[in-house]
Amino acid sequence: MTDEIKENTASYSDDDIKTLDWMEHIRRRPGMYIGKLGDGSYADDGIYVLLKEVLDNSIDEYMMGYGKIIEITIEEGTVSVRDHGRGIPLGKVVDVSSKMNTGAKYDSKAFKKSVGLNGVGIKAVNALSSYFLIASYRDGMYKQVEYSKAIITNEQEIQPSQETSGTLVRFTPDQEIFPEYHYKDEFVESLLKNYVFLNSGLTILYNNKKFFSRKGLEDLLNENMTTEPLYPIIHLKGEDIEVVITHSNQYGEEYYSFVNGQYTTQGGTHLSAFKEAIGRVIKEYFNKNFEYVDIRAGIVAAISIKVEEPVFESQTKTKLGSKDMGPEGPSVSKFINDFLKKELDNYLHRNLDTADILLHKIQDSEKERKAIAGVTKLARERAKKANLHNKKLRDCRIHLNDGKGDRTEESCIFITEGDSASGSITKSRDPNLQAVFSLRGKPLNSYGLTKKIVYENEEFNLLQAALNIEDGLDGLRYNKVIIATDADVDGMHIRLLLITFFLQFFPDLIKRNHVYILQTPLFRVRNKQKTIYCYTEEERIAAINSLGKNPEITRFKGLGEISPDEFRNFIGKDMRLDPVTMKKEDAVKEMLEFYMGKNTMERQNFIIDNLVIEEDLVNEELKMNN
């Protein structure tokens, strides 16, 4: 045995084996409990998971028939959630908030279809908060406990109270774990809307703003659809299941799926069964040998089911893994199929106008698919061959949904323009998680074109093949599709052309928050001691002031001008990304028609008018400075 091996062997002793307290384990490995951390810039950042973990307990109370109002406030980074349920049994307030694997949901039938079953959620919030308060009001009495990083700082004895029964939780996320975090109203409100859509009759008050739904999932579809439905939304309800279905003239398929009130953004067994059952039932109703792809083209649908003791594929519960509805229940697939076979078939027999519209939609989709079948076959073969020796795609090793754990959430692809830009990113990237796709010049303006162009245009065909989205998002290989172009007029134009392409043919890619714009610095300001990268003119001025006399200022004209060593700073853990989002009020069709359509004169006048306004602003600023 060599001296080096002896030394390494000797260093492995009893002292190296450690057992962490539960709160220390959560604080050291927060990703195991709440997924990614972040600062609140994205909807899946950890601070929103903390809010959701607290809210889930209040929602469980409502689902059991207790407490129709939940009050939420967020002020200066501190969150308060007050429900009016039964309140935690007063003798167990400390246990449920600070003892692992403690809860009412293990054996109780009252919680058998609860969101959270493992007794971890509220404890994780406690451990990751610099301040945490929990108070229970029950039968005219109350008990309150305060913590800091899961260590009790103040415990009050049980006392009389005039408050209505329920639970209050107040917490401040720990800035050691979440540096410079901030809650964004748009993400909080989106979360709350889903809660009321799934629990019609529940009222949530957020900073005095009211969220309420009468029609449940039907309201959810109306809230999220950016195109008009071709027929009235089909809304079906049964015990432990609720579904809504319609079609629009958009390309692709759009689904929203939920289990026990949890938004399963990555779907799972229930969504797979739902999609298959819809195709089968509609095919049998019309008694025609339709392809499932034609039946589901343009579909917009949502499903919510309640499962006993659900099994999710991660702590953040974004994908259902359960194959059965419960220990003694049918399979998820059989349950959903039997429900739709009866209820959807009955609906179509009773609503012949809807059935007729649906039939024409399927036939139109079939015609278009067959019209481009020859082009599609050749294009697939061309893309397959190209991908074997694809110089446009520099792939990564880990992909979304490849079974390699939560790291697949970090997988991304940069879409760049030109060899120099793609070269800089390729040399700087993490080859495990970051792929690069290089465009050749500006893409085609695809507005108003049919899907045939996706296969005829080499750039689009290869991009679609690289993303693996021809048959929908189930095969998507990267969690984030990042448009990385220069911050000049040409770069902005390429961004618009790519976004137009996605909006036209793969709108669900944007709706499910997969598309982002990479922000890279416009300036580098430095002296011998310090370098500051600036993304705006304001940041440049602040950097000059902070560095003092005559710093060196570099203006980056393009991504290719940034060295690989520097680029590494901009696509690492602090990468700045702007999500491309889509809302109902965005009026996508009208917006695309105006900005990307053939109304050249109208658009030209718009540009001229706004250039005059910009010139006036500049003149006004010059007057003020003088």
Q: CATH number of the domain that 140 lies in?
A: 3.30.565.10
Among 367, 396, 419, residue at a domain's last position:
367
Answer yes or no: do 294 and 361 share one domain.
yes
Three-state secondary-structure class, residue 557: coil
Q: Which residue has the higher pLDDT, 556 or 574?
A: 556
Answer yes or no: do 361 and 288 share one domain.
yes
Answer yes or no: do 278 and 238 share one domain.
yes
Phi, psi of 238 (to 5 degrees): -150, 180
Residue 54 contacts residue 125 (beta carbons within 8 Å): yes
E-assigned strands of 162-250? 166-173, 203-206, 209-212, 234-238, 241-247
Q: Calculate the average pLDDT of the chain.
A: 82
In this prediction, residue 368 has a pLDDT band, given cuts at 50, 70 and 90, of: confident
In this prediction, residue 56 has a pLDDT band, given cuts at 50, 70 and 90, of: confident
Among 367, 389, 410, residue at a domain's last position:
367
pLDDT value at position 361? 95
d(CA 204, CA 279): 36
Answer yes or no: do 249 and 116 share one domain.
no
Residue 393 contacts residue 439 (beta carbons within 8 Å): no
User: Token match 């343009």: residue?
Assistant: 298
**Any domain includes 529:** no
Answer yes or no: do 167 and 48 share one domain.
yes
> In the sheet that 262-263 helps form, which strands lie side by side, from edge to edge?
234-238, 241-247, 299-305, 254-259, 262-263
Kindly list the distances between the CA atom of residue 90 and the CA atoms of 35, 174, 453, in Å, as whole numbers in the listed order.
31, 27, 65
**Any domain includes 561:** no
d(CA 544, CA 531): 11
d(CA 40, CA 43): 7
* CATH number reported for the structural domain that contains residue 428 in this entry: 3.40.50.670
Answer yes or no: do 50 and 175 share one domain.
yes
pLDDT for 177 beyond 50? yes
d(CA 201, CA 204): 10
In this structure, the number of other CB atoms found within 10 A of the CB of residue 572 comes to 12
Among 342, 367, 392, residue at a domain's last position:
367
H-type helices in 372-478, by residue range? Answer: 373-388, 419-428, 452-456, 458-467
Three-state secondary-structure class, residue 148: strand
Answer yes or no: do 252 and 395 share one domain.
no
Average pLDDT over residues 28-33: 71
Kindly list the distances between the CA atom of residue 10 and the CA atoms of 1, 18, 336, in Å, as whole numbers in the listed order.
12, 17, 59
Three-state secondary-structure class, residue 493: helix
**Any domain includes 564:** no
Answer yes or no: do 391 and 509 share one domain.
yes
pLDDT value at position 171? 95
Residue 233 contacts residue 244 (beta carbons within 8 Å): yes
Q: What is the pTM of this model?
A: 0.77
Specify the DSSP element, H or E, that contains 295: helix 292-296
Which positions ≥6 away from 80 have C-beta within 8 Å?
71, 72, 73, 74, 168, 169, 170
Mark 145-174 as b/e (b = at least 16 C-beta within 10 Å).
bebebbeeeeeeeeeebeeebbbbbbbbbb
d(CA 66, CA 136): 14
Range of the domain at 615: 592-626
In this structure, the number of other CB atoms found within 10 A of the CB of residue 338 comes to 14
**Any domain includes 452:** yes
E-assigned strands of 197-354? 203-206, 209-212, 234-238, 241-247, 254-259, 262-263, 299-305
pLDDT value at position 51? 92
pLDDT value at position 569? 82
**Any domain includes 608:** yes
d(CA 440, CA 463): 12
User: Token match 């129709």: residue?
Assistant: 68
Share of the chain above pLDDT 70, in %: 81
Characterize the bridge pairing of strands 523-526 and 531-534: antiparallel
pLDDT digits (tens, 9 = 90+) for 237-247: 998 899 999 99
Average pLDDT over residues 164-174: 93
Characterize the bridge pairing of strands 159-160 and 69-75: unpaired
pLDDT digits (tens, 9 = 90+) for 537-547: 888 999 999 99
d(CA 390, CA 136): 61
Which positions ≥6 away from 140 have C-beta within 8 Å?
160, 161, 162
Answer yes or no: do 184 and 245 share one domain.
no
pLDDT value at position 596? 67
Answer yes or no: do 331 and 380 share one domain.
no
d(CA 505, CA 180): 38
* CATH number reported for the structural domain that contains residue 259 in this entry: 3.30.230.10
Kindly list the distances between the CA atom of residue 287 and the CA atoms of 280, 359, 619, in Å, as whole numbers in the listed order.
10, 11, 70
Task: Give the count of domains, the chain.
Answer: 4
**Any domain includes 259:** yes
d(CA 359, CA 231): 11
d(CA 406, CA 419): 32
pLDDT for 29 beyond 60? yes
In this structure, the number of other CB atoms found within 10 A of the CB of residue 66 comes to 16
pLDDT value at position 22? 64
pLDDT value at position 327? 73
User: Token match 């085609």: residue?
Assistant: 444
Paired tokens of 216: 């449940």
Kindly list the distances between the CA atom of residue 375 and the CA atoms of 366, 369, 383, 452, 468, in Å, as whole numbers in the listed order.
15, 10, 12, 7, 18
pLDDT value at position 136? 93
Characterize the bridge pairing of strands 166-173 and 78-83: antiparallel
Characterize the bridge pairing of strands 480-483 and 412-417: parallel
Average pLDDT over residues 219-227: 89
Answer yes or no: do 430 and 403 share one domain.
yes
Answer yes or no: do 60 and 138 share one domain.
yes
**Any domain includes 385:** yes
Q: Which residue has the higher pLDDT, 8 or 202?
A: 202
d(CA 24, CA 149): 9
Three-state secondary-structure class, residue 64: coil
**Any domain includes 9:** no
Residue 584 contacts residue 227 (beta carbons within 8 Å): no
pLDDT for 269 beyond 80? yes
Average pLDDT over residues 579-602: 65
Nearest C-alpha neighbor of 61 from the set 172, 209, 165: 165
Which positions ≥6 away from 392 have C-beta within 8 Å?
386, 437, 438, 439, 440, 462, 466
